[in-house]
Amino acid sequence: MTVKTALETFSAIQAKIDALDHAGGILYYDGSTVAPPASTEHRGETLGYLSELGYNLATSKETCDTVDYLLAHEDELTAEQKRNVKLFNKDREYMQSIPLEKYTAFQMLQNKASAVWHEAKQKKDYAMFAPYLQQLIDTSIEFAHYYKPDKYHYDVMLDSKETGLDVKQCDEFFDTVKSGIVPLIKKVLAKKTIDDSFLFGSFPTADQRKITDAIIDFEKLDPQRSVCGETEHPFTTNFSTEDVRITTHYYEDGFVSSMYSVAHEGGHALYELGINPAYNKTSLSGGVSMGIHECQSRFFENIICRSKAFCDFILPKLKEIFPEQLKGVTTDMYYRAINKAAPSLIRTEADELTYPLHILIRYEIEKAIMAGEVTVDELPALWNAKYKEYLGVDVPDDTRGILQDMHWSEAMFGYFPSYALGSAYGAQILSVMKKTIDVNGDIAKGDVSNISAWLHDRIWQYGSLYDPKELFENAVGAPFDPHYFIDYLTEKYTEIYNL
Amino acid sequence: MTVKTALETFSAIQAKIDALDHAGGILYYDGSTVAPPASTEHRGETLGYLSELGYNLATSKETCDTVDYLLAHEDELTAEQKRNVKLFNKDREYMQSIPLEKYTAFQMLQNKASAVWHEAKQKKDYAMFAPYLQQLIDTSIEFAHYYKPDKYHYDVMLDSKETGLDVKQCDEFFDTVKSGIVPLIKKVLAKKTIDDSFLFGSFPTADQRKITDAIIDFEKLDPQRSVCGETEHPFTTNFSTEDVRITTHYYEDGFVSSMYSVAHEGGHALYELGINPAYNKTSLSGGVSMGIHECQSRFFENIICRSKAFCDFILPKLKEIFPEQLKGVTTDMYYRAINKAAPSLIRTEADELTYPLHILIRYEIEKAIMAGEVTVDELPALWNAKYKEYLGVDVPDDTRGILQDMHWSEAMFGYFPSYALGSAYGAQILSVMKKTIDVNGDIAKGDVSNISAWLHDRIWQYGSLYDPKELFENAVGAPFDPHYFIDYLTEKYTEIYNL
- Chain-centroid distance, C-alpha A254: 23
In a domain, A66, yes or no: yes
Confidence label for A481 from pLDDT (cuts 50, 70 and 90): very high
List of chain A residues whose C-beta atoms are within 8 Å of the C-beta of residue B237:
none
- pLDDT attached to residue A242: 97
In a domain, B200, yes or no: yes
Instruction: Check if the interface score ipTM surpasses 0.90.
Output: yes
List of chain A residues whose C-beta atoms are within 8 Å of the C-beta of residue B49:
15-16, 19-20
**A99 and A173 together in one domain:** no
Is A265 in the active site?
yes
Domains in chain B, number = 2
Domain that holds residue B80: 3-150
- pLDDT attached to residue A281: 98
Q: Which residues of B162-178 are buried (b: 16+ CB within 10 A; e: fewer)?
A: bbebbbeebeebbebbe
- pLDDT attached to residue A30: 95
In a domain, B192, yes or no: yes
Read off the pTM. 0.93
Which residues from B are below 8 Å from A when comparing CB atoms? 15-16, 18-20, 22-24, 26-27, 29-30, 33-39, 41-43, 45-46, 49-50, 53, 206, 222-227, 229, 239-240, 242-245, 280
**A238 and A311 together in one domain:** yes
CA distance A238 to chain B (A): 11
**B192 and B271 together in one domain:** yes
Residue type for A400, please? R
Residue in chain B nearest A37 by alpha carbon: B224
CA atoms within 13 A on the CB side of A412: 18
Which of A93, A124, A155 lies at the terminal end of a domain, its last residue? Answer: A124
pLDDT, mean of residues A286-313: 97
In a domain, B160, yes or no: no
Residue A75: which residues within 8 A CB-CB, separation 6 or more?
none
- 3-state SS record for B467-478: CHHHHHHHHHCC
In a domain, B155, yes or no: no
* Inter-chain residue contact B242 with A24, CB threshold 8 Å: no
Beta-bridged to residue B230, according to DSSP, are B248
- pLDDT attached to residue B232: 80
- pLDDT attached to residue A165: 96
* Inter-chain residue contact A223 with B36, CB threshold 8 Å: yes
Residue type for A296, please? Q
Which residues from A are below 8 Å from B when comparing CB atoms? 15-16, 18-20, 22-24, 26-27, 29-30, 33-39, 41-43, 45-46, 49-50, 53, 206, 222-227, 229, 239-240, 242-245, 280
pLDDT, mean of residues A441-466: 98
The pLDDT tens digits of the residues spanning A245-284 come to: 999 999 999 999 999 999 999 999 999 999 999 999 999 9
Lowest model confidence (mean pLDDT) among A229-233, A241-245, A459-463: A229-233
**A288 and A172 together in one domain:** yes
Q: Rounded to whole angstroms, how far apart are CA atoms A475 and A429?
A: 8
**B270 and B347 together in one domain:** yes
- pLDDT attached to residue A65: 98
What phi and psi, each to the nearest 5 degrees, are found at residue A244?
-125, 125
In a domain, A358, yes or no: yes
The catalytically annotated residue of A162, A219, A265, A294 is A265
**A356 and A251 together in one domain:** yes
Q: Please determine, for residue A105, whether its predicted confidence score (pLDDT) is greater than 90.
A: yes
Confidence label for A319 from pLDDT (cuts 50, 70 and 90): very high
**B72 and B194 together in one domain:** no
Chains A & B: contacts with CB separation below 8 Å: 111
The pLDDT tens digits of the residues spanning A197-241 come to: 999 999 999 899 999 999 999 999 999 999 999 988 899 999 999
- pLDDT attached to residue A231: 87
Which of A107, A124, A141 lies at the terminal end of a domain, its last residue? Answer: A124
The catalytically annotated residue of B265, B294, B301, B366 is B265
Question: B229: part of which helix (H) or strand (E)?
Answer: strand B226-230
**A277 and A354 together in one domain:** yes
Which of A124, A152, A185 lies at the terminal end of a domain, its last residue? Answer: A124
pLDDT, mean of residues B181-186: 95
pLDDT, mean of residues A425-431: 98
CATH, residue B467: 1.10.1370.30
**A248 and A119 together in one domain:** no
Q: A35 or A232: whose pLDDT is higher?
A: A35
The pLDDT tens digits of the residues spanning A144-153 come to: 999 999 999 9
**B174 and B146 together in one domain:** no
The pLDDT tens digits of the residues spanning A340-394 come to: 999 999 998 899 999 999 999 999 999 999 999 999 999 999 999 999 999 999 9
In a domain, B405, yes or no: yes
**A243 and A354 together in one domain:** yes
CA atoms within 13 A on the CB side of A233: 21
- pLDDT attached to residue B231: 87
The pLDDT tens digits of the residues spanning B387-408 come to: 999 999 999 999 999 999 999 9
In a domain, B414, yes or no: yes
Q: Rounded to whole angstroms, how far apart are CA atoms B92 and B106?
A: 17
Confidence label for A456 from pLDDT (cuts 50, 70 and 90): very high
Point out the residue among A36, A224, A239 whose CB comes nearest to the CB of B224: A36
Q: Please determine, for residue B233, whether its predicted confidence score (pLDDT) is greater than 90.
A: no
User: By the 8 A CB rule, do B281 and B18 touch?
Assistant: yes
User: By the 8 A CB rule, do A376 and A137 touch?
Assistant: yes
What phi and psi, each to the nearest 5 degrees, are found at residue A247?
-135, 160
User: By the 8 A CB rule, do B483 and B174 touch?
Assistant: no
Please report, for residues B217, B281, B309, B310, B311, the alpha-carbon distance to residue B315 in angstroms, rounded to integers and kept in the order given: 15, 41, 10, 8, 6
- pLDDT attached to residue B129: 98
Please report, for residues A348, B4, B312, the alpha-carbon distance to residue A425 in angstroms, rounded to integers and kept in the order given: 19, 62, 65
Give the count of beta carbons closer than 10 Å to the beta carbon of residue A281: 20
User: By the 8 A CB rule, do B404 and B347 touch?
Assistant: yes
**B301 and B348 together in one domain:** yes
The pLDDT tens digits of the residues spanning A124-173 come to: 999 999 999 999 999 999 999 999 999 999 999 999 999 999 999 999 99
